[in-house]
Structures are given as structure tokens and as C-alpha cells.
Structure 1
Amino acid sequence: MASTDGRTATAITAGPLPDPPPALWRQRNFAALWSAHTVSQFGTQLSLFVLPVLALTTVGATPGQLGLVSAAESLPFLLVGLPAGALLDQWDRRRVMIVADVGRAVALGAVPLGHALDLLSVPLLCAVAFVTGLFTVFFDIADQAFLPEVVGRRQVAAANSRLELSRSAAELSGPGLSGLLLQWATAPLILLADAASYLVSALLLGVVRTPPPAAPAPATRERMRARIAEGLRFVLRHRALRSLAMASAVANLAGLGGALSALLPAFALGDLGLSPGRLGIALTVGNVCALLGALVTARLVRVLGLGRLLLAARCLPGLGVLLLATAQPGRAVPTLAAAAGLIACGITAYNIAQVSLRQAVTPAAMQARMNASVRFVIWGTMPLGAAGGGLLGSTVGVRPALWAVAGVALLSVLPLLLTREVRALADFPDQPEE
């Protein structure tokens, strides 16, 4: 008899293979989770576009002040990111996500209220951004840790692709929709739409039902410190996770949550003289590439290999910022659209690949602490980048600051390039590392 290959021999000795899980769209829990994610993403895109416009046009913020508003939103990841991960390995993650959605809705509601009472100012916007970011810390860490519970490990990569597709669709239509809405309504009122989206997301999350988690051990201050330290050790000793965290931290220092969050609106609306509507059109056209990245990432993993895809995707945003820095008023819209396309495609493909890889190599009991530890590192650079980028733009000019940011963004590929465990990856591991 002819010899069998390894997979055939395994099937013979181990018995029949388990039935494949049902398609994701047929799973009620995932459908509810995806719907909540999609509604929230569309609302968030309104805020990401409208809030800087509000700060620049209504409040009269400088690039430096705009950097402070952006820094306030990501600062909670530095302050509470690590204990949040330890707590979320013990708390009901779905309930935490619902509370966080409601909290963000209430915080955003303070902006139109402050506008109505003539109290709108940079400090108020910083306070709203900080409170919103605080709830986002808990929501995002719980979200990534909750997904494997909802779909199972075998479908995590496919589920992440669908969630990223929704995010890309929101990014595609969000700027154009925001620019259009700004022609009809004031910026504070538009933020109410984002607050409403968080409330809808909370209602949809209430539909999700998963088996109750095992009862955690009683939490003490000493145990909390031990759990935080355990999560950090797991990430820092795991060469692939450490490399991903370092690359993402450098990228976020320069990226849309860091220096670009202050420099891009100031450059487009100030130096290039674009209206919010034209800026929205440019970003909408460019964000088509985010949708493309979400659609082709799985295929690119098969064609290029996971490691090569991560390297290529990590380089694209830096090239996009280089192109952005060359924009001139006469050709601003096409240049911004092309630059946004490179940035969006690279970020989307990289996020699908790196988040799925992190989830694949991490045991279930460590998921929240792993996510918290990684987020502490990669989001912790955002407030530094936002504040530093705004200060640099106010000091040397926005365009020279963009050249510097592009160089930092391109350097973010080095940790991946120097780590063989990432560079040589062909696909996602089948089993987590205990």
C-alpha cells in the first residue's frame, strides 16, 4: 500500500475530523457583534473628522493645541491600560463593552451641550477626549479578547477580516459624509450621531450570548500586580509579540493616532487651503484602498506568506506620508487621496495580520492581558506623538514636520525585519503557545 502523508496518517489515527463550524454570517452571536462594531465604527469616523475641524474652526486651536486634544484621547492607555487587562481577564467582557459604549455616548454629548452654553474650549475638548479614551481602553481590550470566545480560534482570522472590512467601509464613507454634513449642520450637532451610534452598539452587544466564563480567583492588590507582570512578561519574552509591539509603537508615534492626528488637519485646512468638504472627498477616495486591503489580505498571506505581508504593509504608511508632504494647493486633492490610499491600505492589511497573529499565539486565559500589554506599548506612544507632532508643526512648520514624521514611520519596519520569527512566517500558527 502506498504511504500516506502526515495529515492522512493523523486522520487515520485520530479518528474523523470535527465538523467545520458554521459560516460566520449564520452565527447569531457574531452577527450581533459585527453589527455593533459596524454601527460604532461609522459613528466614530464622524467624530474623527469633525472634532479636529471643530477645534480648528470653532475654537480656533493651533496645531499644538490640536495635538493636546489628540494626546488626551490616547493618554488613558498609558495610565490604565495594564490594570485594565488584568481586570478584564476576570470581568465579563461583554458587559464591560456595553458600559463603555454608554460611557462614550454620555461623554460625547458634553460637546453639543458645551456649545449650547457657550462653554466650548480646548480644555473641554481635552476633557471629553480623555473620558472617551478612558472608556475606549476597556472597550478595545475587551473587544479583542472577546472575539475568540464568540467565534472560536479556527475562525478568528476570518472574523477579524470581516470586522476590518466594516472599519474600512466606515473609513471610506466617513470623511465624505462628514464633509457633506458640515455643509448642513454645525459640528457639535454632528457629534450627537456618534453618541447615538455607541448606544445602538450597546443594544446590539446585549444580544450576544456566550457560555459563562470560569469563575476567576479573587482579586487582590498583590494578585493584580502579579497578573499585570505576567502579561508583560508573556509579551516581552515572546519574540513575535515583542517585535509586533515595537513596530506598532514606532508607527503609532508618527501615525493617524499620533503626530498625523495634529498635522494632517492643520496641513490640509491651513497650508493647502482645503474646505472640510474637499478634504472629506480626498480622504474618501483614498480610503477605497482600505477596503481593498481588507478584501485581499487573506489571499496575500497565502501568496506572499504572513511575514512578507507584515513587512510590506508596515512600509506603506511611511510612503504615504512622504507623498503627503509633497502636496501643493494646485493638486492637493489628488495628492491627499493617493497618500491616504497608501496609508489606509497598509494599516488595514497590517492590522488584520498582526491582530490575528497575536490572538493565534496567545492562550485564552492570557488574551486580555496580552492585548492590554501590547496596547500599553503601542498606544502609549500616541499621546507623545500627537503632542510632539503638534509642537513640531507649530515650531518649524507643518510641512517640515511631515517630512520628519515620514522618516519615523518608515523606521517602524525594522523590528519586524530583524526578527526571524516574524520574517519567516508562512501562515498563522494552529495552536497558541502555553
Structure 2
Amino acid sequence: MTGNREVITGNDFKRMIAGAYSAFLLEYENINALNADSLMDEKAGTHILRTIGAAAMSLRDLQADSIGGVSKRVGSAAVLGAHGNAGVLISQILRGIAKGLAGKYDASSSVFGKSFQYGILYAQRAVNDEVERPLIITAKAVAKGAYNAVRANLPIAEILTEAIKAGGIALSQAEKKNGFVDAGAKALMVFLQGCRAGLDGNYVSPVLLFSSGFKKSHDVPNPKFDIVYTYAVSFSLVKCRASISDLEKMLNPLGKVIVVKSLDDRITVYLHTDCPGLVVGQAVDWGQIEDIKIQNLAIPHDLKNVDKTIMDIAILAVADDEKTAQSLEQLGAIAVITQDKVSGPAVGDLINLIHGDIAKNYIILSNNKSSSLVMAQVKRLLKNNIEILYTNNVEEQIKALKAFDVNETLKVNLQNMHEAI
């Protein structure tokens, strides 16, 4: 039998991600209303919408055509833009898909089908539970449906269709058994249905949607707040023709965590950005560039080597509002509030703050179980000197902060703070 020679391209994958975002715009509130006990995430729909929003926004100016390059950009942005436990799981699926498509200019139906198996594997690693969550069970059914469709030599669109059918059967069986629809499993099906619609061109771009003055009857998160800065760029400028203050002004629109220092006969620059090529392209006009380094922040890495002189241990406490933040800061913590003050911090929010070189070591105080996987993902990405203390509410955060002693070591403080709650 002659193999199916159809391929899926980077532009096809872009449409799929836009389609998934469009699908969640319509369904995220319905998912919020479903049973999310398996995720410990009461805002599963909102968190996934925002995670996919970060992925979709990473493609807004991307010129790359290869499916490997597009999928890697999507996976990295989703990892850093992940909100809540549900968002982390979806981000890991996208990261796994990117793993399966790595290095490909385009992908055959067989390669594309196998990439979903990588996605499921990465999602399973993220939770590492003894009992499989409904989202993982449904994902396995989806993968089996896709595998059978690939074996049957079906076109890529039909592979997705068969995968959705298999997942739908698994979802229905679980509903009959449990008496309710699981939010995570339903979210996975909405994601796939959106990808299928996007492949056919049935979607609305998040960029165009909000730039055109989109009228909404409810509080839809604006994806511009979910733009992430995936790359850490550093370089030196020799014979620089601009002052440090001017350099900072020119770099400010291009990213976050901007550090510009004068060192001997050169100026060193460090920042987080989603457009490293644009940064380097502008920097060539400022002086002679040397020692360029570009690092993907969405993969495990060490903190950059700079002088950290402010404190030995910093406590980052997640706060839901300004009043709570003030209470936590009065006890010595650095409060972390997201721009919309609704969904809790994204992984990238904490990564950016820690890369600001406030201290040598960090303790992150969570404030609810909905973000436990977000915290775990931060610790996984920043391999050293990061510890997480899980709390359920602001009262426990306050108890932990009162047990902190600046004269004690990180290990002793963690033990004392844990005992306090």
C-alpha cells in the first residue's frame, strides 16, 4: 500500500493554535462550571484560555515556516505562559508535540500522529500521579484513535477527526461512570476540536479580535496580558555610541528584566524578550557586538551569574489583591500579583522576577492548590536555589512569614515555616 504523502506545515500549525484559542473563547466559561476536582483548579477554562493565548500571541510576528520552529515557539510560550494546574497540563502537551516535531520543516501524517503521543507523555510527567487523571485517560484514547487513523493511511484532517471521536467516546464513558463531566477531559476535547477547525481555517486570530475593538458581554482575558518573554539575550557592546540611559529606553519596548551595565571599555546588556532577532538587529547600530548568548527560558537552566547583594533569601508570596499584598509585604515578603489580578501568576511572571537577581535563594509561598503545578514548573525550570512552600490561604502565608528568620539558613527556615502552618 502506498503511504499517505500529505504533510502538515508550519502555517497549518499556526492555524491550529489560533483555532484552539477561538474554541476556548467560546467554551472557557462552560469548562469553569464543570467538575474540576481532578485538577484542583476552579478556573480550569480561564487558565487554559490564557495559556493558549500566550502560545497564540507568540506567533503574531513569527516569520518561520517550518513546523519544527513554529511548534517549538508555541511549546515554549505555553510553558512560560501557563496559568493554573490546567494550563500547565496543556502547556506540557504542547511542549511534547513540539518535541515530536523538532527539526522538521513539515511533517507527514505519521510523524504528526506520533507527536501527540509525546504530548501525553510530557503531561503525565508533569503530574506524576499514582491514579491517572481523566484528562490523561482521555488523552490516551485520543492518541489511540490517532494511531489507528495513521495506520489506516488517512489524511491529517481525518486523523484529527478520528482522534476527536475516540476522545469523545472516552469522555462519554467517564461521564456515565462518574455522573459528571470532568473539566480537564472536556478541555482537552475543546482544544482538539479547535485545532481541527483551525486546520480548515475556521478561527478568529486573537490579535485581530482584540485590536478590532472586540465587544464582549463578559470578562474575556485580553491575550496582550499573556505575552511571554521566552528568551534571555545577553551581549557586550564595544565602542558603544549610546549612553546607558538611552540604551535602557531603546530596550524597554523589547522585553523585561533589562540590565545594562558599564564594565571597563564595554557595556553589557541582559534582557528577556520574545524577539531576540529584533534586539540583536537594533543593537548592531549601537556599537560592536560581542559575546552574544541566547537562552530559552522554557527549558531547565541555571540563574545567570551576576552579583546578588540585596539579600540571601527572598520570599515571593502570591497575592490575590493589593490589600493582601500590602499585608504580606509588611512581613517582609515580595508580593506577586498578576496584571489582571484574576488568574494568579503565570510561570513566566515568577521566572522574570527571580531572574531580577533579588537574592541568592528563593522561597515561593503559594496561596492555593490551583497553582501547585505552576510552582512545580517554576522549580523544574530553575534548577537551583528555589523552594516552594504550599499554603492554602493568606492566613497560612502570614503564619509562615512570621516564622521566617533572616539569620537562619534556607533549610532551617523551610522547616520552621512548614511547621508553622
Per the normalisation by structure 1, the TM-score is 0.25
TM-score, reference length from structure 2: 0.26
Greater relative contact order (Cα 8 A, min sep 6): structure 1 or 2? 1
Which structure carries more strand by proportion? 2
